[in-house]
Structure 1
Amino acid sequence: MKEPPALGADWSKLPADILGTIQGELEFPDLFRSAAICPSWRAAARSLRRHGLYSRPQTPCLLYSTAAAGARAAELYSLADRTTYTIPLPDPPIAERSVVGSSHGWLVTADARSELHLLNPATGEQLALPPVATVEQVSPVLDDAGDLQRYDLSFYDAKLPRKENQPPQPYAADRLRLRRVLYLKVVLSCDPSRGDCILMMIHNPYRQLSFARVGSSKWHWITTSFWVSQYSDGIYHDGAFYAMNLLGGIHRYTIEGSCATRDIVLKDTLPYMAYSMYIARTTSGDFLQIRRITTDTSEDSLETRTSDLEVFKVDLEDQQTVDVDTMGDDSLFIGHNYSCCVSTKDYPGLRPNHVYFTDDDEYSLMDDQDYRRDVGVYSLESKSTTEIVTPEPWLSRPIPVWITPSFTKINK
């Protein structure tokens, strides 16, 4: 007589500590799926997130808004499992904001009054940043009752004697125009939930730099002249910010209190200004200079498309850049996000030797018209571009942006 087949293991009775260890190693799509298996698994997943124990590094995702999601939610497209997730977000509505940065799982957004906020879409946490009125070239103008009437934006740099190239430009406090002109990109030194966090902002006029600490009350202007500044991108590494200017030079800024010390680590490498330039570090530690070439899609439109991407390794010793034919197993992410390389060995859902890009064209962002956004994946080998999602579902504002979700909550 045959023995009856052994019953399968009852996974619902897995010890909580073992279950938590297993779930803690899952990417968030798999964590969410595991939570649907049974009540005990759901409780374990909630406990991980509630107590801030779920800190597994995630594969980058594309965050964007859609008409279907509404004004107070965003869509998160996971490159790990090619699935879209809808996430509710706190006010002000995401549809009324501009996105000017994405670092360490946090968005930097500007509301209708041009005030900046840090927003973590994964946890729903939000922090106010120093007022726009504390930016050096922005002056609040009050009416007779003492209420804010408008902002004036002045056009000067640190060259003395001070000379303004044009009269200050007025911007109504409740209009969107100031934020589109002023803010270009903001990068963070670290995840704000993990401690002291500094923000570096590239802003107009003249693509200058200002910095602030999370929780502080003002932006500190880094006083540079027109020809020294004109920055295009920045990253944080080994205790300092590295900013790349439009001529390909790299400057290191060390922040101490309210002061910044500048060191030139790479001299200017280009004889012309390249407005779509990025700085990143490979997973092996090399600095990269990335040049993005775009073409207009029509004669009467500012709408552009990425037609080519050139990647160069920075040789700091010889003060030059070297053309890179391949990034090996690395993938590169550029746009309004923190420019970074990610190893496809650690994140198999990504394509090696590819550049994932989103739209960050300065002039189309300033314009009031809505444009089809420039989003895609570029192969350095075939020099061809493919779409992320077909047909593209996102609205043109706020612009789509790469974000690496972080479920770590702020320890209050």
Structure 2
Amino acid sequence: MVSWSDMTNDVLQHITSFLPFPDHYRFGAVCKNWRLVFKQRRCPPAPQLPWLVLEEESQTKKRKFYSLSDAKHYSIEIPELHGRYICGSSHGWLFAVDIKITGILINPFTRECYELPPFLAFSNNVDVTTLIEKVPSDYTGGPRDYTFEEMQVGIVCKAILSHDPKERSDFTAMILFGQMNSPAFWRLSDSSWTVVDGPNCRMEDVVCFKGNFYVISVMNKLYVVDFEPIPKLIEVGPPIGKEGRPYQTYLMDFDGYMLLIERFCRYVEHEVPVTVRFNVIEPNLEEDRLYEWFGIDDCAVFLGRNSSIFVDSSHLQMCKKNSIYFTHLTESYCGDEFGCYDLGVFNMTDETISTFYSAEVFPRRVGSPVWLTPNPSKRKLSKDPTWLLLHSCLIEIGNK
């Protein structure tokens, strides 16, 4: 009988193809031979559900994550994210903003990182702790101060990527920023963000679909980003009629179909919006027609500040099929006393909403938790091989 440590690399590589993401790190911590297979792995982790990126622990400064697949919390030491607000995720990477209103693009599990230019609303690299703006209060009608945490939350509404940076170096980052959620983009060779010219109205979401970026406005109009010669928005597609004004609209690439998902809310005590249902519409650009979808079969969709994600739930435990998982909206008018708690799962079959995470009420200063697809790089992760073992231990220790 062959001992576990003496199993051939081909066999061990085959085993890793069945492991979910956390078990990949545990696998690499077993022994030197297994750690070598982990570092040289050719197989991606088994299909899995997105993780929820939560707040930073106040004492340890570790970043908290919640894995929907095993319903467990993980706390991971990621120094690059200390004190930063997560404003988006795409292809397994996070966009994060710090107190100086500078941003980074980081793979949280490998710590590969790109420095981003200062965001356009604060191009002078201003420390937001020195900025206090008097605004009408949502509750008393009198003035109140914006804290720097609230200002961090409001800088970038959405941030996405055209491609995975570890797969293609010619990726484009697109953000919606400022009060009007104006679109702007950045490429690796650029020294600053470039604003995309468009109508004077608020934008709601952006998606990269078949190589093009599309933006949906609050006026229910769909635009494509034309980069040459001067970046601008061009209106496309059929008119998008709606039954009442949705609270939020999302765009997503659903396996080759562009979908527009409308989120409807009602207001409860203290004027907190709570989600009641979703509509799913396909704006078919080739036929210039709209199609309403009444289900998404065995799939599940994950909406939030992240690039919208879909998974085939038929191969995944702990996932509800034909459902839409959603996080609360950053713009929700809820105070520190009550937090923001509009997280749930909308079942498209019976149009009911249930909970998937009710352990905490998120304070407003944290902003929206963000969905993240675990995406470990196939590159060498660290010059120090002991980092892999340490990282695995951190995940295990952080499990609550």
Q: TM-score range by the shorter chain?
A: 0.7 to 0.9
Hey, what does 2:219 align to over in structure 1? 247
- Alpha-carbon distance in 2 for matches of 1:201, 1:41: 40
Which of 282, 287, 291 is residue 313 of structure 1 equivalent to? Answer: 282
Change (3 A) 1:120 1:256: farther
The aligned amino acid for 2:210 is: D
Calculate the aligned-residue CA RMSD, in Å.
Answer: 3.4
Q: Does 1:335 align with 2:309?
A: no
Q: Does 1:392 align with 2:360?
A: yes
Hey, what does 1:73 align to over in structure 2? 62
Hey, what does 2:4 align to over in structure 1? 11
Q: Does 1:181 align with 2:154?
A: yes
Which of 45, 49, 61 is residue 51 of structure 2 equivalent to? Answer: 61
- Alpha-carbon distance in 2 for matches of 1:141, 1:337: 25
Within-5 A mapping of 1:215-364: 216-226=190-200, 229-256=201-228, 259-260=231-232, 262-270=234-242, 274-283=246-255, 285-298=256-269, 300-301=270-271, 303-317=272-286, 319-364=288-333
SS of the residue aligned with 2:371?
strand
Hey, what does 2:351 align to over in structure 1? 383
Change (3 A) 1:317 1:272: farther
The aligned amino acid for 1:324 is: W
Q: Does 1:192 align with 2:168?
A: no
Larger deviation, residues 309-318 vs 181-190: 309-318
Hey, what does 2:98 align to over in structure 1? 111
- Alpha-carbon distance in 2 for matches of 1:342, 1:124: 25
Relative to total residues, which structure has the larger helix share, 1 or 2? 2
Hey, what does 1:168 align to over in structure 2? none
**Does the CA contact (< 8 Å) of 1:102 and 1:402 recur in 2?**
yes
The aligned amino acid for 2:292 is: D
- TM-score (normalizing by structure 2): 0.79
Hey, what does 2:138 align to over in structure 1? none
- Alpha-carbon distance in 2 for matches of 1:288, 1:216: 31
SS of the residue aligned with 2:27?
helix
**Does the CA contact (< 8 Å) of 1:279 and 1:289 recur in 2?**
yes
The aligned amino acid for 1:103 is: S
Change (3 A) 1:120 1:102: same
Q: Does 1:29 align with 2:22?
A: yes
Q: CA deviation at 1:38?
A: 4.8
Larger gyration radius, structure 1 or structure 2: 1
Q: CA deviation at 1:40?
A: 3.0
**Does the CA contact (< 8 Å) of 1:192 and 1:410 recur in 2?**
no
Change (3 A) 1:316 1:12: same
**Does the CA contact (< 8 Å) of 1:234 and 1:241 recur in 2?**
yes
Give unpaired runs (5+ residues) of structure 1.
Answer: 1-7, 154-170
Q: CA deviation at 1:407?
A: 0.8
Which of 30, 33, 36 is residue 40 of structure 1 equivalent to? Answer: 33
Hey, what does 2:178 align to over in structure 1? 204
- Alpha-carbon distance in 2 for matches of 1:36, 1:92: 24
Change (3 A) 1:37 1:99: closer
SS of the residue aligned with 1:185?
strand
SS of the residue aligned with 2:166?
helix
- Alpha-carbon distance in 1 for matches of 2:92, 2:338: 27
The aligned amino acid for 2:66 is: Y
Larger deviation, residues 55-64 vs 199-208: 55-64
Change (3 A) 1:271 1:23: closer
Change (3 A) 1:411 1:267: farther
Q: CA deviation at 1:289?
A: 1.4
Q: CA deviation at 1:102?
A: 0.8
Change (3 A) 1:203 1:354: same
Which deviations, in whole Å up to 9, do the C-alpha atoms of 1:213-252 show, x marking residues without a partner? Answer: 14521111111121xx422111112221111222333222
Change (3 A) 1:256 1:78: farther
Q: CA deviation at 1:347?
A: 3.8
**Does the CA contact (< 8 Å) of 2:302 and 2:309 recur in 1?**
yes
The aligned amino acid for 1:180 is: V
- Alpha-carbon distance in 1 for matches of 2:69, 2:76: 17
Q: Does 1:84 align with 2:67?
A: no
**Does the CA contact (< 8 Å) of 1:232 and 1:275 recur in 2?**
no
- Alpha-carbon distance in 1 for matches of 2:244, 2:354: 30
- Alpha-carbon distance in 2 for matches of 1:357, 1:331: 11
Give unpaired runs (5+ residues) of structure 2.
Answer: 134-144, 382-400
Change (3 A) 1:38 1:204: closer
- Alpha-carbon distance in 1 for matches of 2:308, 2:105: 18
The aligned amino acid for 1:290 is: I
**Does the CA contact (< 8 Å) of 2:64 and 2:75 recur in 1?**
yes
- Alpha-carbon distance in 1 for matches of 2:299, 2:17: 25
SS of the residue aligned with 2:183?
strand
% same residue:
25
**Does the CA contact (< 8 Å) of 1:249 and 1:269 recur in 2?**
no
SS of the residue aligned with 2:237?
strand
Larger deviation, residues 16-25 vs 34-43: 34-43
